Structure 1
């Protein structure tokens, strides 16, 4: 620890090198007081109302820093003369106060503006539910912890804070229920967060990728959500919830794939209805993954499995299509994904118009130009619609992705059977392989080691 110089502002200006670092000097009761702070991240009202105004109206003599500290009604105040501690404090929203003539130490006072720049509306717009609460998390970590503490009034609720990011210094909080959560899971999460080596933590999803078991898996290994009630359910069920400052989403684990298809709305409906709707989601996911690959496998190598009543319309719709089913499906699936991405990146009203008009115009034009068949447009449309039934956005992205390798596998494996052996004998195996591969990918448990 080195003693601070007489003019700390000059030294800090060379260290921080930022125009928002300012120093002001005020005289009160024949005493000169130096105030040094970064004006971009402090609350100016606290400076004027809780510091300057309190000192100005005080009738007691300010002889030392202890008497000055007693005048300021702010909780987080500490005496410091360490240059590193002072520099880090100023960057976090502290103000450094020095009293002449002794300028070799001063008071670090926390006056950070924690609310400015954050949204006040905390409705869960991205995970909407008709029944139940609409409250979601925001980008302020303290507000999110407050929401959890109000929802779970129990002395078993534990908050454990860590700092991640050598540059961003992001606050990360581990939340769990003591006595319910497995201590091994808590230790695993704690160790991975402590060992996280990253410069900047932009969002909790980045933390998800840092502490995950397998970064190459297309499946989300942690649940990500913005709903407070979902975080409450996960905590009560023994999961570990992780929140970070600057992110309205939390991640929780360990999870299984079935957790990603459970909606918070299921708990607010009778069990019969909830079970029915959940089965609808499972069937929708299976159809979304298998519909296009089955179309490729059947129309390329297995016409005999098509009923005779349906064979005529299929042949008529594909009579003038110049592409093989494999290329036809890839072209249409790629077009649907482009429309979805373009609609998601544009403003809401423009994006909705693009999705509706673009889908109708392109679909009709593709059929008129004999680039695709009517039946495939219906299959791809239902497949895209089924993928939206998944409550968790990350799992919905995984379902969208799985269709493409399965389409390639349907064409490749079906071709191998057709060219090397009797196609009629091995006909059922192509469908069994596709279904088995999909079920294996979907039912694999996702948890900590």
Structure 2
């Protein structure tokens, strides 16, 4: 038995090269569990056996025929691994020394090329990338501004981000997460702007993450967030390319995951969830009005129904006499206590909301509008609820939709229920106690190690215009000071404010 045959037999069990053609085929089939669409093509060129193998539905077959088989068969070369890497116009290539490594590339859309008796396998990525086209955002709609949304392809998403952030300072670090189903993850930030502690913290959390697989970017955010107990989101999840790029330009660290149409922006504050990129596109006074309107709507959303329950149940004296008479007349036929009445209507609203979201778009809109009107009117006529409560519930539901972030809107809906129950048991005192617990919880929270309630706590007055309102561009020229970025100045205020009238240029030349 010669040395080559002995090497073949010793490496057969280990999956190491060199292997014979038949041994390699068997080893690949074992690794991929006899994949039905696994294709092997054996070619003999100048007395050398060359094996080309790939998974058929993942491969761009036109590129395969034109850029591989034609040069490989008619190139008239004494092929070696080095000549394959230099002579085939297929783009990205990689060398592998074990069967396990090349099988990982096969399931990602690569082909493998093996020259018998060589100790390396060459792989080329020629993925047949069938992805949906770039569409408008569905959950974060705005009137003014770019209308591009992420897709499920990380290559497409990186292309969109690069097109928006045109800077060679943009870093895109690559990670592979998932021991059973590996997923490509990218960490993006501006090298000269982002805080090194934030970058290192996110990098460490991604590196230390040991899971079987990641289903989506929202799942990844739950794995790496600061607290998994809180109902409030600690990272901003966005499907908008401009919102993602806006976060990068603000010095934040952002994450993209392959197969997910959402990007992660961190760190984020509580007030950041009520900020929209539309605030940048509008004039500063209009943007400030809308942002304050969102804060008021958020407060109305989770406090209005508990206050109604507490007032009607325990505190008649705080209700004006005329309104009290209207409430008494409206509730005269209702057999339930106010807390049960409110929970009943809130449950109907949630059912309508979920039904509208799960049904096809046109049917869902019809169910939401018609169902709300019909059920509300029927509940009043049947004596199950009062007219006044219908108005209160409708205002509360509408206010919860004003948050630009769907996750924050959902969190506000959830915390409303314990407040309603506490109001029904203890009245205004219970509501006050519940609000105190809520504020304490928000003050204790962090996002990527940064205080969640910035800039209110700790109080940083310079950052108020980045959170609670907006100032004119000529006045607000600073980035967030609390995040301790490498450069907190966006532009020189004096130079940006300097304007020239037409008279400064000598006026028009009269001829």
Which residue pairs with 1:77 in the alignment? 93
| 1:51 and 2:68 matched | yes
Which residue pairs with 1:106 in the alignment? 121
| 1:66 and 2:79 matched | no
Secondary structure at the residue paired with 2:51? strand
| 1:88 and 2:104 matched | yes
Between 1:154-163 and 1:382-391, the stretch displaced more is: 154-163
Which residue pairs with 2:236 in the alignment? 223
- Selected match of 2:198 from 154, 169, 185: 185
| 1:352 and 2:368 matched | no
For residues 217 and 119 of structure 2, the distance between their equivalents in structure 1, rounded to whole angstroms, comes to: 41
- Selected match of 1:131 from 144, 148, 164: 144
Instruction: Give the drift of 1:372.
Output: 0.3
Residue-by-residue CA offset, 1:97-151 (whole Å, 9 max, x unaligned): 1335x365432222223x21x2112322321111111112111112211222221
Between 1:153-162 and 1:386-395, the stretch displaced more is: 153-162
Contact 2:151 2:261 (C-alpha < 8 Å) held by counterparts? yes
Which residue pairs with 1:42 in the alignment? 59
1:247-266 → structure 2 map (5 Å cutoff): 247-266=260-279
1:114-129 → structure 2 map (5 Å cutoff): 115-116=129-130, 118-129=131-142
**1:105–1:271 CA distance, 2 compared to 1 (3 A):** closer
RMSD of the alignment, in Å? 2.0
Ranges in structure 2 where 5+ consecutive residues have no aligned partner: 1-13, 450-511
- Selected match of 1:157 from 143, 164, 170: 170
Instruction: Give the drift of 1:249.
Output: 0.4
Runs of 4+ in 1 over 6 A off after TM superposition: none
For residues 32 and 228 of structure 1, the distance between their equivalents in structure 2, rounded to whole angstroms, comes to: 48
For residues 401 and 280 of structure 2, the distance between their equivalents in structure 1, rounded to whole angstroms, comes to: 20
Residue-by-residue CA offset, 1:49-94 (whole Å, 9 max, x unaligned): 2111233453x43343433443311232234342222222222222
Which residue pairs with 2:400 in the alignment? 387
Which residue pairs with 2:447 in the alignment? 447
For residues 119 and 402 of structure 1, the distance between their equivalents in structure 2, rounded to whole angstroms, comes to: 36
Instruction: Give the drift of 1:155.
Output: 2.5
Secondary structure at the residue paired with 1:259? helix
Contact 1:257 1:446 (C-alpha < 8 Å) held by counterparts? no
Secondary structure at the residue paired with 1:78? strand
For residues 80 and 307 of structure 1, the distance between their equivalents in structure 2, rounded to whole angstroms, comes to: 80
| 1:9 and 2:22 matched | no
For residues 431 and 32 of structure 1, the distance between their equivalents in structure 2, rounded to whole angstroms, comes to: 79
Which residue pairs with 1:19 in the alignment? 36
Between 1:401-410 and 1:24-33, the stretch displaced more is: 24-33
Which residue pairs with 1:417 in the alignment? none
Instruction: Give the drift of 1:369.
Output: 0.5
Contact 1:288 1:387 (C-alpha < 8 Å) held by counterparts? yes
Which residue pairs with 2:5 in the alignment? none
Secondary structure at the residue paired with 1:40? helix
For residues 163 and 127 of structure 1, the distance between their equivalents in structure 2, rounded to whole angstroms, comes to: 29
Residue-by-residue CA offset, 1:151-190 (whole Å, 9 max, x unaligned): 1222321111101111221011111111321111111111
Contact 1:42 1:94 (C-alpha < 8 Å) held by counterparts? yes
For residues 275 and 95 of structure 2, the distance between their equivalents in structure 1, rounded to whole angstroms, comes to: 51
TM-score (norm: length of structure 1): 0.91
Ranges in structure 1 where 5+ consecutive residues have no aligned partner: 415-427
The count of corresponding residues between Structure 1 and Structure 2 is 432
Between 1:30-39 and 1:401-410, the stretch displaced more is: 30-39
| 1:145 and 2:145 matched | no
For residues 112 and 434 of structure 2, the distance between their equivalents in structure 1, rounded to whole angstroms, comes to: 66
- Selected match of 2:313 from 300, 311, 330: 300
For residues 431 and 40 of structure 2, the distance between their equivalents in structure 1, rounded to whole angstroms, comes to: 74
Instruction: Give the drift of 1:383.
Output: 0.5
Instruction: Give the drift of 1:445.
Output: 5.7
Instruction: Give the drift of 1:10.
Output: 1.5
Contact 1:290 1:435 (C-alpha < 8 Å) held by counterparts? no
Between 1:33-42 and 1:225-234, the stretch displaced more is: 33-42
Contact 1:240 1:252 (C-alpha < 8 Å) held by counterparts? yes
